[in-house]
Amino acid sequence: MRSSGVFPVRDARGAASRDRRTARDPRPAHGRPLETEYRPRHPLDLARTVLMHRRGHGDPTMCVDGSVIWRASRTPEGVATLALREVSRGVIRGAAWGPGREWALAQLPALCGAQDDPDEFEGSRHPIIAEAHRRNPGLRLSRTDLVFDALAASIIEQKVTNMQAFAAWRRIVTWYGERAPGPTPRPMFAPPGIESWRRVPSWAWHRAGLEPLQARTIVETARRGDSVVRAVAAAPDGDARDLVLTSLRGVGVWTSAETRIRALGDPDAVSVGDYHLAHEVGYALIGERVDDDRMLELLAPWSGQRQRAIRLIGLSDVREPRKAPRLHPEDHRDH
């Protein structure tokens, strides 16, 4: 790792000074970053691999500026901002700012899917998956290694539309997170620490648009947050991690799977109970909607790699025609 100034340093202070959030939490002096190069030994589609962690286009922890992907996170060593850019074919340049910058750069290969092993995946078992697999050789399953952040975000997404969940995530992270260091193209924030999640007041959850059940689940989980993170890290496989997570009140199999997918790059996790997933899998594989049990039967040929099969279905051109209007989300904040 070194500091070479390859990434441009922009001064966004003028625009930021007009943002009331910046006045509350001014951007730390960023200085020069630490930088590194990552040369994956396999094809890598950087955007499709890394941007699966973005929670909507307004996510305060992630954004894209031209060819650069920016990510703010709270690492075990402190807040860090990471900037990623493919500078030439097969060469990823990473730059990081903040007290957690060394951790962020060391974790960069895993974020880019270095720990993912697709060799056991048999893509030829269905023509739609085979074609998606052929067209997307650079897809890798990314992991952040930040369990609590993924768990909190997944709880926020329980039983609501993406639009509602992304808005609530944006508000809570902006209000209670920490301003990200570095020359970010817009004000960015790292998620709150575990103790800060626990101390978010009830009125703030309501203003953010979360139901009381979701708020209680995050607060209660945060009370055991450190032990949960240690237990998940110590668990030997996906089933054991699932047992740890689903032992928490308010955390079911869907939330566990979503957490493991993002934090740990679990290649076999299936988000059972998702509002759309079973329908999408069924339509792609047999041309009709199915329930969760039938979805699991259809995915059985890819046991151990079911999440990869799901991602490839999502990258295919097969989409069920819409027959009904979109669900209009209810805003309960005025209730």
pLDDT at position 31, please? Answer: 74
Closest to 180 (Cα-Cα) out of 303, 47, 63, 310: 63
pLDDT at position 56, please? Answer: 94
Q: Which two tokens stand for residue 109?
A: 């290969």
Chain-centre distance of CA 187, in angstroms?
A: 19
| Type of residue found at 292 | D
Q: Report CA-CA distances (Å) from 62 to 180, 253, 315, 325.
A: 11, 26, 21, 30
Q: What is the pLDDT along the chain (335 residues), one digit of tens a residue?
A: 554 455 655 544 433 333 444 445 566 666 789 999 999 999 999 999 999 999 999 999 999 999 999 999 999 999 999 999 999 888 999 999 999 999 999 999 999 999 999 988 998 999 999 999 999 999 999 999 999 999 999 999 998 999 999 999 999 999 999 999 999 999 999 999 999 999 999 999 999 999 999 999 999 999 999 999 999 999 999 999 999 999 999 999 999 999 999 999 999 999 999 989 999 999 999 999 999 999 999 999 999 999 999 999 999 988 888 765 555 555 555 55
Superfamily of domain 1-324: Hypothetical protein; domain 2 (1.10.340.30)
pLDDT at position 326, please? Answer: 54
Q: Are 209 and 194 in contact (CB under 8 A)?
A: no
Rounded to whole angstroms, the Cα distance separating 173 from 324 reads: 33
Task: Locate the domains of the chain by residue range.
Answer: 1-324
Q: Report CA-CA distances (Å) from 115 to 25, 88, 150, 305.
A: 36, 22, 18, 14
Would you say the pTM of this structure is higher than 0.75? yes
